[in-house]
Structure 1
Amino acid sequence: MSTIDSIDKNKLPNHMAVIMDGNGRWAKQHGKMRVFGHENGVKTVRDTVESCVQIGISFLTLYTFSTENWKRPKFEVDTLMRLLVSSLKKELVTFMDNNIRLNTIGNIDSLPKKANRELQEVMAKTSGNTGMTLTLALSYGAREELKNAVQAISAKVKNNIISIENIDETIINNHLYTHNLPDVDLLIRTSGEHRISNFLLWQIAYAELYFTDVLWPDFNEEHLVKAILNYQNRERRFGKTSEQLT
């Protein structure tokens, strides 16, 4: 069994992102409605966050609700929003006890007022925390993020605030939702699907991708440690050769 003690604390991913997939299939396997899977997935979120704090991860981003998820049945969407509000209320103590700063990316103005209000309150209360930054991707889509960045940069070019010749990666980064976050080092997706699903397309350019067949409600600390150990056994060359790294 892999344990946190087996992780090399000198080779941790600085920014880890997770596509939490499989709640619906997990519920179906248990003969329940999809919302039952989402409810059990909340516990996995809590356990994963606490394990990441213990391991020493600096930035954790969770794909919580995509722009495409609004297309799901109204009952399921309403349940997800209810779970978001109740979870934020319950986990504030956990955030404070573990020195976690809550952050969000996405079009949060599209969230129900109650969910948006609770989110803003918890972010404000945890803003002074200096430990791990937990980012929830809510009503998030990478293509929309990139479109918004292009529009914002284009407007500045039109108004002579930015010249076309000066547009570089830094300027693009500064116009993304994640402008205050580093690039992703490790991306984990559960449930056996091998897709990115419109998540952090710019930010994962050099991320290590890890896919597991485990459904999200069953994902535990042992699975997390296994993913990080796999990451630590990879050679990250960033375009260089192995000989250059040594």
Structure 2
Amino acid sequence: MKLKDKVNLGPAGLVLFLSCWANSGASFAAEPLFVQRVESATPSREAIGKAEEQVREHKDVKFREKMAVPPFHKRMEPPLKEGETYCQGCHRPQPHSKKLRTRSFLNMHSRYIACETCHFRPEDVRLEYRWFDYAARQPAAADGGRFRTGRNLDNSVLIDGKFKIAPFHRGEPAFALPGTAFAERVGREWQEGDLAVRARLKARLHAPLSKEGPACAKCHTEDSPLLDLAALGADSRQAAAIRRHVIPQFFGRYQSDDDRLKIIDILR
């Protein structure tokens, strides 16, 4: 049963109750670690100012249904609702766009790795990484069949986007989920708030997050990789294929955005 089902309050009363509940010591600890960090965040004036500028300049992406010239490539449908992370309530399904060299590969990762795995990395706690079923809203058992490499690469296995590798803290999910009391309250604040309210809300939501995710070599390496692949269900062949993947090695040879890429270099 959800929190909002336990009380009979109107919208205004619910918002007040959630605010008090989120800041009470006893109930606060039950929230995911990310939510706790958002609730306690105190963004700097600079961070709020930057957020205000971003909110002011933001424009929603709209797909044109009728085009003078039909698109050559097949247009991708939006992701299944059952596989959406909380971040996808605002960010696009392919959120990486600025780094031309790596953005396609990073967007591929968002199909089976939760946003928070790369961008929620608090230094004062230890996180574990497990599979999470976003459709069933519960942790999923380790399963090497979800990796698109090793034995599955030979069989062209499709990735089920509802399963993602996500961060856990003390055995519990460390991330927010769509449709929860927290998500609904934030959604109302955004819809009803003016520019100043939205800017502060955006700054608080992003305060616990790192803009830059870990480098490719943090996972694709033999030297203490970020993810425990065996614990996620990968067999030895899959783990070796992931850690020795040629693409991250290829990118690792280029330190500057001005460096020219040569496809032949991928064979070295």
TM-score scaled by structure 2? Answer: 0.24
Structure with greater helix percent: 1
Q: Which protein is bigger by CA-based radius of gyration? A: 2
- From the two aligned structures, give the one with the greater strand fraction: 1
